């Protein structure tokens, strides 16, 4: 193997001593500037030229903003329009087969069609990026290559002059890209790359590596350094592939003579040893070291570093957090640096960075007025992380103190005692599912293949404007309440006209499924502008959990009880589950995630008690983050599932057998959590299934309770055809009994327009009725 150091100019490299690196800075903007440009283009409000101008103006503003910080190396390639994984796929010429015969006026139109679907062509599958709430689009691999699209190269060409010689190239690494992709070639439909046939792997890998290297070559004139992101290397299962993984890098970089290449592993401690990285033909490698010596240090990092002795390569140290928004302790940085010196890592070989992509943080704490000042002083969003990075080299040598007010976590002893009391009892339903389901169908008078939706209905501009006016005090509480009630009334009328069997109130009073509860629970804080990208142009504002959680008054009862008063059909009480509220919030360092999950469960349990008093007979407890919260290390799965399942059952285990409990999960690898999902014991499990064309249903072949596979994709503006809905339903019926099957969309309808929702649901109800008649089994 050629030595990478043969071409690396160490004298030049020494000038980077204790340098700082930034990559994957948020792209949407503090005011969601990119979001508005994208969505105006999608709905035809601006033409292509105006769209391009808006994108490039925002790109320049973003780049100039980054350039003002005293950061040594800034990524010139981390901007993206919708998803950075899809952008890499298109840059390499990997386009799904069904789009190859389509004609597009502009490359971006193809990009958005693959991401969102078009006419009768469905989009690619979407799922969670590791254990985060960011959704990536799953590349579809086949041997029908096209010419690559120069998205990434264009970003580098436009930003590198602004960065003034500080530009680096950040790209998803080849191992992560391949491992997260699926193969669609011949008889191989949806299998992972490493489980595909040897013939396909060899043929695809040969062309893939040539194209990936060509992309690096095209970027080389614009950057001084490459950082290839390889978070897949934290997964324990990659140990079985370490030889194949090493060979990929040897083939890609064995005789590389361009800018130095680093490999960055984030989210957890790498599953492969430091020696494995030292054997790669790279200039250096890096990892997340931010938890070292902190309250959240499990000891795994200490153990990993204890055997680490530096080789000839550089080290990229993720020392400030890219996942949580709490300020960095300078003394922890100093302890990490001392550990590096113990490992014989020379100072001139250290580059400092953040532990994970900054896209997981909001832009800045500036102008945050909803959070107490003493809490704000202890927060660091993306911009504040940049400021911290400029100080890290000094902190490493000298340490320092964490300035700001001392804030005590609020402890509620009565809450802790209530949690302990409930956990000592029986945390499960007292009647078997089979008997419960029989009683529920009698009470609810449900037909075969009952239809429902997931919860939310379109949050149109008039809803958003009224909510904003109410929050500014421009309309009274009574006026706002009347507005919401009229929206609920209209929503119930539409659902009854469509013929849905179990209705929802539409959630018009909720800006977000987690934030809504955070505003009403003790121990949680919400932000003004703390937007974090979830997928495409969509963003959420994660709350901050800073103390024990407590229920103080009904949160959902008024709207749901009103909706139920308008119809004889059952209306679901809609709640967000304890694990999802936990996972989609920032949890203060030092708080037990398990204990917070139990406290949230007890608060939701109290809400359910009030809903039952109002006669609500169906309650949905959404847990879309149940899979997302699964630890990346397989060895930690059983412990997580045990407390996560217990928290979910704590919310509903006390309800009468005639009350039906639904839950909803989406965009997850369900096979990893099937045992946990079974143990949750919801009466009806509603899952996303349409983007995989129903393939995910096979994971629930043995599910003992009722199942509602999503029959159409709500994240696309397309209206599904009868045939598409029937394809998913038919696949479900081939593996699942008809008397326990439900029919529903993939997810909530909040982001869609009424002109998309009504015909889509009409088609869904029509197909359900058609198949109901086929079975013609009386209830």
Q: What is the pLDDT of residues 454-483, one digit of tens each?
A: 999 999 999 999 999 999 999 999 999 999
Q: Which is higher by pLDDT, 181 or 122?
A: 181
| Other residues' Cβ atoms within 10 Å of the Cβ of residue 158 | 16
DSSP 546-577: EEEEEE-S-SSHHHHHHHHTT-SS-BEEEEE-
Measure Cα distances from 606 to 186, 290, 457 in Å: 53, 37, 26
3-state secondary structure of 539: strand
CA dist 764 and 745 (Å) reads 8
Residue 372 phi, psi dihedral angles, 5° rounding: -55, 145
Q: Which is higher by pLDDT, 302 or 28?
A: 28
Among 699, 712, 688, smallest CA distance to 761 is for 712
DSSP-derived secondary structure letter, 535: E
Q: How many Å separate Cα 540 from the centre of its chain?
A: 10
Q: Please give the structure tokens belonging to residue 682.
A: 């919801």
Q: What is the pLDDT of residue 670?
A: 76
Measure Cα distances from 206 to 211, 252, 407 in Å: 9, 10, 56
Among 132, 87, 123, 89, smallest CA distance to 108 is for 87
Measure Cα distances from 612 to 572, 647, 658 in Å: 11, 20, 11
CA dist 726 and 731 (Å) reads 8
Mean pLDDT, to the nearest integer, of 46-59? 98
Cβ–Cβ under 8 Å, residues 616 and 564 = yes
Q: Please give the structure tokens belonging to residue 662.
A: 């639904």
* Degrees to nearest 5, angle at CA 620 with 416 and 572: 125
What are the start-end ranges of the H helices in 237-327? 242-253, 274-278, 300-306
Binned at pLDDT 50, 70 and 90, residue 190 comes out as: confident
State the residue for tokens 């003992």: 704
Mean pLDDT, to the nearest integer, of 27-31? 96
Among 728, 753, 758, smallest CA distance to 743 is for 728
Is the pLDDT score of 583 beyond 70? Answer: yes
CA dist 506 and 295 (Å) reads 41
Query: Which residues are designated catalytic?
Result: 715
Measure Cα distances from 665 to 701, 727, 773 in Å: 16, 21, 29
Q: What is the pLDDT of residues 55-70, one digit of tens each?
A: 999 999 999 999 999 9
CA dist 411 and 548 (Å) reads 6
CA dist 193 and 176 (Å) reads 11
Q: What is the pLDDT of residue 2?
A: 33
Q: Which is higher by pLDDT, 14 or 493?
A: 493
State the residue for tokens 């969505």: 39
Write the CB contacts of 552 (distance below 8 Å, at least 6 apart in sequence): 520, 521, 522
Q: What is the pLDDT of residues 215-249, one digit of tens each?
A: 999 999 999 999 999 999 999 999 999 999 999 99
CA dist 449 and 744 (Å) reads 10
Residue 163, burial from CB neighbour count under 10 angstroms (0-12, 13-18, 19+): buried
CA dist 708 and 697 (Å) reads 10
Mean pLDDT, to the nearest integer, of 290-298? 62
Please name every residue paired with 547 in a beta bridge, in sequence order, or none if there are none.
Answer: 410
State the residue for tokens 């994108």: 55
* Degrees to nearest 5, angle at CA 145 with 141 and 147: 130
CA dist 720 and 764 (Å) reads 8
Q: What is the pTM of this model?
A: 0.92
Residue 188 phi, psi dihedral angles, 5° rounding: -90, 105
3-state secondary structure of 502: strand
CA dist 104 and 107 (Å) reads 7
Q: Please give the structure tokens belonging to residue 245.
A: 């993984």
Write the CB contacts of 20 (distance below 8 Å, at least 6 apart in sequence): 71, 72, 73, 351, 352, 353, 389, 390, 392, 393
Is the pLDDT score of 4 beyond 80? Answer: no
CA dist 764 and 741 (Å) reads 14
Average pLDDT value over all residues in the chain:
92
CA dist 587 and 326 (Å) reads 9
Measure Cα distances from 279 to 175, 205, 284 in Å: 16, 21, 10
Name the maximum alpha-carbon separation found in the chain: 82
Q: What is the pLDDT of residue 9?
A: 39
Binned at pLDDT 50, 70 and 90, residue 693 comes out as: low
CA dist 549 and 576 (Å) reads 15
* Degrees to nearest 5, angle at CA 284 with 283 and 290: 160
Please name every residue paired with 189 in a beta bridge, in sequence order, or none if there are none.
Answer: 184
Residue 514 phi, psi dihedral angles, 5° rounding: -105, -45
Q: Please give the structure tokens belonging to residue 656.
A: 């009468």
Q: Please give the structure tokens belonging to residue 138.
A: 């799953």
Is the pLDDT score of 16 beyond 50? Answer: no
Mean pLDDT, to the nearest integer, of 569-592? 95
CA dist 493 and 322 (Å) reads 46
């Amino acid at each position: 193997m050629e030595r990478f150091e043969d071409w690396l100019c160490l004298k030049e490299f020494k000038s980077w001593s204790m340098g700082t690196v930034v990559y994957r800075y948020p792209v949407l903007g503090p005011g969601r500037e990119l979001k508005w440009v994208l969505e105006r283009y999608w709905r035809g409000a601006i033409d292509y030229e105006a769209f391009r101008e808006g994108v490039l103006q925002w790109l320049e503003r973003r780049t100039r903003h980054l350039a003002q910080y005293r950061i040594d190396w800034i990524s010139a390639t981390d901007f993206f329009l919708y998803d950075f994984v899809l952008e890499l796929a298109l840059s390499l010429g990997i386009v799904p087969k069904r789009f190859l015969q389509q004609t597009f006026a502009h490359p971006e139109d193809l990009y958005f069609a693959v991401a969102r679907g078009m006419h009768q062509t469905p989009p690619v599958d979407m799922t969670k990026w590791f254990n985060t709430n960011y959704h990536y689009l799953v590349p579809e691999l086949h041997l029908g290559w096209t010419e690559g699209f120069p998205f990434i190269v264009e970003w580098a060409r436009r930003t590198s002059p602004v960065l003034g010689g500080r530009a680096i190239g950040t790209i998803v690494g080849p191992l992560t890209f391949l491992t997260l992709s699926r193969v669609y070639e011949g008889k191989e439909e949806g299998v992972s790359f490493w489980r595909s046939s040897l013939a396909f792997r060899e043929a695809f890998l040969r062309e893939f590596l040539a194209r990936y290297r060509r992309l690096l070559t095209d970027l080389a004139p614009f950057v001084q350094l490459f950082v290839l992101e390889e978070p897949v290397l934290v997964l324990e299962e990659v140990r079985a592939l370490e030889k194949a993984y090493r060979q990929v890098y040897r083939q890609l970089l064995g005789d590389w003579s361009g800018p130095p290449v680093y490999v960055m592993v984030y989210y957890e401690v790498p599953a492969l040893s430091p020696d494995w990285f030292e054997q790669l033909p790279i200039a250096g490698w890096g990892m997340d070291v931010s938890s070292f010596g902190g309250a959240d240090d499990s000891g795994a990092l200490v153990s990993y570093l204890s055997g680490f002795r530096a080789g000839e390569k550089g080290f990229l140290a993720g020392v400030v957090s890219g996942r949580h928004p709490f300020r960095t302790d300078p003394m922890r940085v100093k302890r990490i640096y001392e550990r590096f010196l113990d490992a014989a890592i020379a100072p001139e070989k250290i580059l400092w960075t953040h532990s994970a992509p900054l896209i997981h943080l909001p832009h800045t704490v500036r102008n945050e007025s909803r959070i107490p000042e003493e809490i704000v002083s202890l927060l660091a969003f993306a911009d504040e992380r940049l400021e911290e990075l400029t100080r890290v080299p000094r902190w490493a040598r000298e340490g320092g103190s964490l300035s700001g007010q001392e804030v005590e976590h609020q402890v509620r002893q009565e809450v802790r005692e209530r949690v302990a009391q409930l956990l000592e009892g029986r945390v499960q339903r007292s009647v078997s599912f089979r008997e419960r389901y029989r009683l529920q169908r009698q009470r609810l008078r449900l037909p075969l293949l009952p239809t429902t939706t997931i919860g939310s209905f379109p949050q149109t501009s008039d809803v958003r404007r009224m909510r904003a006016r109410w929050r500014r005090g421009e309309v009274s509480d009574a006026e706002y309440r009347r507005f919401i009630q009229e929206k609920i009334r209209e929503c119930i009328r539409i659902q009854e006209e469509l013929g849905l069997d179990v209705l929802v109130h539409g959630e018009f009073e909720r800006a977000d499924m987690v934030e809504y509860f955070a505003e009403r629970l003790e121990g949680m804080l919400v932000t003004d502008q703390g937007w974090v990208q979830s997928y495409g142009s969509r963003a959420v504002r994660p709350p901050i959990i800073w103390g024990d959680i407590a229920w103080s008054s009904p949160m959902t009862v008024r709207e749901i009880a009103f909706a139920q008063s308008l119809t004889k059909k059952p209306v679901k009480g809609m709640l967000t589950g304890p694990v999802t509220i936990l996972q989609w919030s920032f949890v203060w360092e030092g708080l037990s995630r398990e204990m917070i999950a139990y406290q949230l469960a007890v608060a939701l349990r109290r809400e359910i008690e009030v809903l039952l008093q109002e006669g609500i007979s169906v309650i949905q407890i959404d847990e879309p983050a149940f899979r997302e919260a699964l630890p990346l290390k397989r060895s930690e799965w059983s412990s997580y599932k045990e407390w996560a399942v217990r928290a979910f059952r704590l919310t509903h285990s006390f309800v009468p057998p005639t009350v039906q409990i639904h839950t909803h999960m989406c965009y997850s690898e369900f096979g990893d959590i099937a045992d946990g999902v079974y143990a949750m014991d919801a009466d009806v499990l509603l899952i996303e299934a349409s983007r995989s064309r129903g393939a995910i249903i096979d994971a629930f072949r043995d599910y003992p309770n009722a199942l509602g596979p999503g029959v159409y994709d709500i994240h696309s503006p397309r209206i599904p055809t009868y045939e598409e809905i029937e394809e998913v339903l038919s696949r479900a019926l081939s593996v699942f009994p008809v008397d326990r099957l439900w029919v529903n969309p993939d997810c909530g309808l909040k982001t869609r327009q009424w002109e998309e929702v009504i015909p889509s649901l009409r088609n869904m109800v029509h197909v359900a009725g058609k198949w109901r008649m086929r079975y013609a089994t009386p209830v």
